Structure 1
């Protein structure tokens, strides 16, 4: 487990996530190799903020993100792959975003962003966050800290788009 939360300059961990079925493994590093992308994590599929704000905002602004240079988009949560697939269908993601399950919390632990949701959701989950990745290196990390990670203030699309402009200006 990471001793401190992920930060800019850290490498994307070499972890396996799941797409739709437990046998459909995805190596996260393979998705970002030689590419510019974004990733956003959330406590769980079908939960209020995640379903009302976070995922819908990334979907409705997909084209704007792509125009800003994003080649790969990943949404990840501590759920099983069947739940993530059902959530993708429910939200008509249609392949615009990779909807990946961190069913064993491999990524969550490696990034040091475990959140205790046992009283409400029954288990530990991933804190709400987002980041920009270039060729497997985090360029930005936006980790929500208010209310144990349940707030949605700094990990959204507006933050990512602003950071993309700043990175392009450098």
Structure 2
């Protein structure tokens, strides 16, 4: 299922912004430092412990970690507009250690900078992240998949991304 990138959203060929985030457990780092010189996946979702995020999105990336490594990906990061303690607890529940780096974007700074925010104050109490996944190569966005609706998991899951890889994207 194809995604539609809207005006204001980060595009293929753009670089990740120099934004400071927190990795669980509470370590400040620039997002660009995580992806510097690396090929990886950055995926965002509306909230830790929410049904679709907990049942599908995060577990698939944890499950498929070895497949991504085999294809030459060095880092997989999950970002959500939650605090670092929530992201750490959620990560422990899903056994992400050594597989997925949990990123707290507590004030939606990164999410807004890449134009993927959504106002969910009525459901989750604040601005949150749209559901997306992107391939990043040394901070350059090489593909991006943004879901068309909040509960959708058609294009941004690990299995969807793995299925969409073409032979020219797979390293030798």
TM-score (norm. length: structure 1): 0.91
Correspondence for 2:8 among 1, 4, 15? 4
Task: Tell me if structure 1 keeps the 8 A contact 2:71–2:170.
Answer: no
1:126 corresponding residue in structure 2: 129
Partner of 2:158: 157
Instruction: Note the 1:14-163 alignment, pairs <5 A.
Output: 14-22=18-26, 24-146=27-149, 149-161=150-162, 162-163=164-165
Q: Assess if the C-alpha contact under 8 Å between 1:127 and 1:150 holds in 2.
A: no
- Distance in 2 separating the partners of 1:159 and 1:16: 29
Contact 1:130/1:155 (CA < 8 Å) preserved in 2?
yes
Q: Distance in 2 between matches of 1:47 and 1:66?
A: 27
How far, CA to CA, are the matches of 2:56 and 2:120 in structure 1? 19
Question: Can you give the 5+ residue segments of structure 1 that lack an aligned partner in the other structure?
Answer: none
Is the contact made by 1:118 and 1:124 (CA closer than 8 Å) also made in structure 2?
yes
User: How many pairs are equivalent?
Assistant: 164
Task: Provide the residue aligned with 1:167 in structure 2.
Answer: 169
1:21-48 CA-partner distances (Å, limit 9, x unpaired) = 44x2021101111110011000010000
Q: Deviations over 1:121-169 (max 9, x none)?
A: 11110000000000110000001112xx331110011232233644238
SS in structure 1 at match of 2:145? strand
Given the two structures, how large is their TM-score scaled by the length of structure 2? Answer: 0.90
- Any stretches of 5+ residues in structure 2 without a counterpart? 1-6
Higher helix share: 1
